[in-house]
A and B are shown apart, each in its own frame.
Chain A
């Protein structure tokens, strides 16, 4: 059974940092593009970042320069380092597998809540 389990969410002050982690099991992790997608009160579902199986990286304009995605295939893990956090970054962050290699999201984690507030 495919599973994606996120961790690392929490409450952080504006301008602060947080690191999210996601462990994938039940599939050949290294073969898949992995994404972070968030769900915020203001924008609904919003794609944040992707790291493909060849370690090419893409970011949404809204997080470019502030967020860093990485992966460790030996640990079946993908990470999202978030810095300079803003109120509008508040939301649930999902770790998501792309089944097609082109933005088809077939497996989602349960999500981890990030709250940016003073």
Chain B
């Protein structure tokens, strides 16, 4: 089973700052890594797919990088609306979700 570990568990930042979220896979997922944003009471929303491609309608402030086992989601110029929980998901070896990083702005 390919386990995804996200860090940190919680990130508290101010508007205008940048956030760096990490997702580490126990085995290589090549570039088949996606990121989702979930706001309280809402469904997850696809942000990034295949490590670095923004989904439709996602602002350029969101960017993804990495391959193999180590991936990063970077959010620049943070806005209050960016608060929520961010999940990574791999689809290389079956599929699995990480445990999430809570971002507080």
The chain A residues found within 8 Å of chain B, CB to CB, are 44-47, 94, 100, 102-106, 108-111
Hey, what's the 0/1 contact readout for B72-105 against A, CB within 8 Å counting as 1? 0000000000000001010100011101100000
Partner of A103, one of B44, B45, B95, B99: B95
Q: Which of A45, A94, A100 lies at the interface centre, i.e. has the most chain B CB atoms within 10 A of its CB?
A: A45
The chain B residues found within 8 Å of chain A, CB to CB, are 34, 36, 42-46, 49, 55-56, 87, 89, 91, 95-97, 99-100
Beyond A94-B43, A105-B89, 11 additional pairs, beta carbon < 8 A:
A45-B44, A100-B49, A103-B91, A104-B34, A104-B49, A105-B34, A105-B46, A106-B56, A108-B45, A109-B43, A111-B43
Taking CB atoms, residues of chain B closer than 8 Å to A100 are 49
Contact in complex: A102, B99 (CB < 8 Å): no
Q: What residue of chain B has the Cβ atom nearest to residue A98's Cβ?
A: B91
Q: What residue of chain B has the Cβ atom nearest to residue A105's Cβ?
A: B46
Contact in complex: A45, B91 (CB < 8 Å): no
Taking CB atoms, residues of chain A closer than 8 Å to B43 are 94, 108-111
